[in-house]
């Protein structure tokens, strides 16, 4: 290992994986340089402050975990508020609470007790339970029945995947939890919330005192940048790291249309899903409600699902057989290298924020102890 390089670690990507790793390495007196090709830090958690409102530029980010250690860790950088994710569904102007619970069942069928709700669901699922589901539609019908499927699942899922539910594999929906209590809290985790002042406070806390350079794409100056440090942590796309030599890994993407509205409150909730097929977007976010804002104006974001393409931002890995095998081949290749690959793009895996923090802490512990 060279002794005269400027840094111990070059960390490519200033998302949560890179930021947590850099923080832990710096605590161990390692010299770190963090670079990111975007013009800001924070990766997908980045918020742009517009009109005093923290706008989640890359989609709604709600922190939730069951792990007290991770919760205390993030709260040591910034306190979190008491935001509880309780999305609504709008189906042709009718509003339903999510996740499916006694409020939803009351709105659908005017039932008031769990027994009444169960009786309807049992009746509607019975006829679909006999045969093995061959596609997503059959699977959903056997789990929740016709009414919930048609109003709250079908259109949304078809928009999300860009394909008919009858052409989607059944395994996409493994379970559809039904809650027979009046509880609109989307997550079952013990802890959840949004950093007070927004996610940039968390990023800034993690990266405080660490040298960071934005607007720098590793691949545009690969050799010189690699020469700067003894070790490289790479959190970008693993297929890009190997020049797509085995082919491209595919991702579903999203387009975000942000709008400033000259009114104080548009939909009264941070997240509203649009479940009918004729509305092109899947959700509208109203950002001020993540932080109980009372600004004069409001900012909303419509989320439009997009096909995987080279031009689109990579958001959700498509873990089908073809892509899974391709990732395995890249992973094998990476095992010959000294590079530390981590994060959602390098591991081609959907991770929630608490999971990525856990993964970065574990990796740092292993490598730095
Ligand atoms: P990223 O945040 O993507 O960071 C990777 C960074 O690497 C990026 O900033 C990128 O610009 C940089 N980079 C890539 N290539 C290069 C290069 N060549 N040179 C320089 N820099 C490079 N999690 C939750 O817990 N709750 C939620 O509600 C939630 N909502 C989500 C909504 C959406 C739409 C998406 C896509 C994800 C959501 N997540 C949520 C997951 C969360 O975003 C991830 O867990 C987290 O962002 C992963 O961090 P990361 O560091 O691996 O990746």
Query: What ranges do the domains of the chain cover?
Result: 7-83+190-250+319-368, 99-172
CATH 3.40.50.720 is right for the domain spanning 7-83+190-250+319-368: yes
Q: Does the structure show a pLDDT above 60 at 128?
A: yes
Distance 27 CA to ligand 1 centre (A): 23
For 332, counting Cβ atoms within 10 Å of its Cβ (0-12 exposed, 13-18 middle, 19+ buried), the class is: exposed
Distance between CA atoms of residues 259 and 271, nearest Å: 15
Would the CB of 349 count as within 6 Å of ligand 1?
Answer: no
Longest dimension (CA), the chain: 73
Tell me which of 324 and 129 has the higher pLDDT: 324
Tell me which of 78 and 310 has the higher pLDDT: 78
CA distances from 222 to 97, 98, 340 (A): 49, 46, 15
- Residue 86 has a pLDDT of 98
Q: Tokens standing for 290? A: 């993540």
Q: Is 175 a catalytic residue?
A: yes
168-182, 186-200, 274-288: segment of lowest average pLDDT: 168-182
Phi–psi pair at 258, nearest 5 degrees: -90, 135
Of 232, 247, 235, nearest to 327 by C-alpha is: 247
Q: Which residues, in sequence order, are CB contacts of 175 under 8 Å at separation 6+? A: 143
For 110, counting Cβ atoms within 10 Å of its Cβ (0-12 exposed, 13-18 middle, 19+ buried), the class is: exposed
Distance 113 CA to ligand 1 centre (A): 42
Distance between CA atoms of residues 162 and 17, nearest Å: 30
24 close to 361: Cβ distance less than 8 angstroms = yes
Q: Is 252 a catalytic residue?
A: yes
Of 29, 25, 26, 31, nearest to 2 by C-alpha is: 31
Percent of the chain at pLDDT above 90?
91
Q: Does the structure show a pLDDT above 60 at 342?
A: yes
Neighbours of 50 (CB within 10 A): 15
| pLDDT band, residue 127 (cuts 50/70/90) | confident
- Residue 3 has a pLDDT of 57
pTM: 0.95
Of 9, 78, 13, 77, nearest to 40 by C-alpha is: 13
- Residue 4 has a pLDDT of 74
360 close to 21: Cβ distance less than 8 angstroms = yes
- Residue 153 has a pLDDT of 98
7 close to 33: Cβ distance less than 8 angstroms = yes
Would the CB of 120 count as within 6 Å of ligand 1?
Answer: no
Q: Tokens standing for 261? A: 């509205």
Neighbours of 69 (CB within 10 A): 10
Distance 143 CA to ligand 1 centre (A): 32
Distance between CA atoms of residues 21 and 341, nearest Å: 11
Q: Is 115 a catalytic residue?
A: no
- Residue 308 has a pLDDT of 74
**Kind and range of the H or E element at 363?**
helix 353-368
Distance between CA atoms of residues 61 and 64, nearest Å: 10
Q: Is 296 a catalytic residue?
A: no
Distance between CA atoms of residues 252 and 350, nearest Å: 11
Q: What is the dihedral sign for C-alpha 305, 173, 317, 45?
A: positive
For 90, counting Cβ atoms within 10 Å of its Cβ (0-12 exposed, 13-18 middle, 19+ buried), the class is: middle
Residues 26-52: tens digit of each pLDDT: 999 999 999 999 999 999 999 999 999
DSSP letter (8 states) at residue 245 = T
Residues 255-274: tens digit of each pLDDT: 999 999 999 999 999 999 99
36 close to 14: Cβ distance less than 8 angstroms = yes
Q: Is 283 a catalytic residue?
A: yes
* Mean pLDDT confidence for 310-330: 92
Q: Is 161 helix (H, G, I), strand (E, B) or coil?
A: helix
Residues 46-69: tens digit of each pLDDT: 999 999 999 999 999 999 999 999
Residues 103-114: tens digit of each pLDDT: 999 999 999 999
311 close to 257: Cβ distance less than 8 angstroms = no
Bridge partner list, 94: 91
Active-site residue, selected from the candidate residues 83, 158, 283, 348: 283
Residues 131-189: tens digit of each pLDDT: 889 999 999 999 999 999 999 999 999 999 889 999 998 988 888 899 999 999 999 99
Distance between CA atoms of residues 369 and 364, nearest Å: 8
Tell me which of 186 and 308 has the higher pLDDT: 186
Task: Ligand 1, residue 240: give the atom nearest the CA.
Answer: 18
Distance 367 CA to ligand 1 centre (A): 22
Q: Does the structure show a pLDDT above 70 at 1?
A: no
DSSP letter (8 states) at residue 60 = -
Distance between CA atoms of residues 154 and 127, nearest Å: 18
Residues 201-254: tens digit of each pLDDT: 999 999 999 999 999 999 999 999 999 999 999 999 999 999 999 999 999 999
């Amino acid at each position: 290992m060279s002794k005269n390089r400027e840094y111990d670690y070059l960390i490519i990507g200033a998302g949560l994986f890179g930021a947590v790793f850099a923080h832990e390495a710096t605590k161990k007196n390692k010299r770190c340089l963090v670079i990111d090709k975007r013009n800001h830090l924070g990766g997908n958690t980045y918020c742009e402050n517009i009109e005093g409102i923290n706008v989640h530029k890359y989609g709604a980010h709600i922190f939730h975990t069951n792990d007290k250690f991770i919760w205390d860790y993030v709260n040591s950088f910034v306190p979190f508020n008491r935001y509880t994710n309780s999305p609504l569904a709008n189906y042709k102007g009718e509003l339903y609470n999510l996740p499916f619970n006694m409020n939803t069942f009351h709105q659908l069928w005017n039932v008031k007790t769990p027994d009444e709700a169960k009786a309807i669901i049992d009746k509607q699922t019975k006829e679909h339970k006999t045969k093995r589901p061959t596609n997503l539609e059959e699977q959903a019908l056997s789990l929740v029945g016709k009414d919930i499927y048609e109003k709250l699942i079908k259109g949304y899922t078809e928009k999300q995947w860009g394909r008919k539910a009858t052409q989607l594999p059944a395994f996409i929906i493994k379970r559809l939890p039904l809650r027979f209590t009046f509880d609109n809290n989307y997550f079952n985790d013990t802890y959840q919330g949004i950093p007070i002042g927004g996610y940039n406070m968390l990023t800034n806390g993690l990266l405080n005192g660490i040298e960071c350079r934005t607007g720098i794409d590793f691949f545009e100056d690969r050799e010189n940048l690699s020469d700067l440090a003894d070790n490289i942590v790479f959190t970008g796309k693993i297929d890009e790291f190997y020049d797509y030599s085995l082919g491209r890994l595919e991702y579903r993407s999203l387009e975000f249309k942000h709008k400033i509205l000259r009114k104080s409150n548009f939909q009264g909730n941070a997240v509203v899903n649009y479940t009918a097929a004729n509305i092109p977007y899947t959700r509208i976010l109203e950002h001020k409600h993540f932080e109980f804002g009372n600004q004069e104006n409001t900012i909303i974001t419509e989320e439009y699902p997009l096909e995987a393409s080279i031009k689109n931002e990579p958001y959700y890995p498509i873990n089908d057989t073809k892509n899974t095998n391709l990732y395995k081949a890249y992973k094998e290749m990476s095992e010959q290298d000294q590079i530390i690959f981590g994060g959602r793009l390098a591991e081609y895996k959907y991770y929630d924020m608490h999971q990525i923090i856990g993964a970065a802490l574990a990796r740092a512990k292993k490598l730095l102890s």
